[in-house]
Amino acid sequence: TQLLEQSPQFLSIQEGENLTVYCNSSSVFSSLQWYRQEPGEGPVLLVTVVTGGEVKKLKRLTFQFGDARKDSSLHITAAQPGDTGLYLCAGEENDYKLSFGAGTTVTVRA
């Protein structure tokens, strides 16, 4: 299993501030996914990045895949309390197997 490290482990910010979450590995992945998980629920897919250097934007969320396809970042602009949750990155090992990071717990205070 290929390891994915996420940092920071915890992040607490005030509403309106920006934040960045990182996902790093020594392995190359064919694609990388970001999920958000809320308490008592399963993870929900936010985005899949495929190409090295790719940048995808979803409203206030910006996802970047590193040129070497070993790392990724998630940037949230003007965070809102609704952005609170556990953010997980997952690298695709083969056609169906995902390797997950331990996650970053984000708390946005009103």
At its nearest, how many Å lie between other proteins and the CB of residue 49? 10
Question: What is d(CA 1, CA 93) in angstroms, rounded to the nearest whole number?
Answer: 8
Going from the C-alpha of 57 to that of each of 41, 53, 60, 62, the distances in angstroms are 24, 13, 7, 4
Query: Is 42 one of the binding residues for other proteins (CB under 8 A)?
Result: yes
Q: Please pick, from the candidates 13, 20, 64, 102, the single residue that binds other proteins as defined by CB under 8 A.
A: 102
At its nearest, how many Å lie between other proteins and the CB of residue 33? 8
Query: Is 106 one of the binding residues for other proteins (CB under 8 A)?
Result: no
Strand bridging mode 71-76 / 85-92: unpaired
Binding residues vs other proteins (CB under 8 A): 1, 4, 6, 30-31, 40-45, 48, 50, 88, 90, 92, 95-103
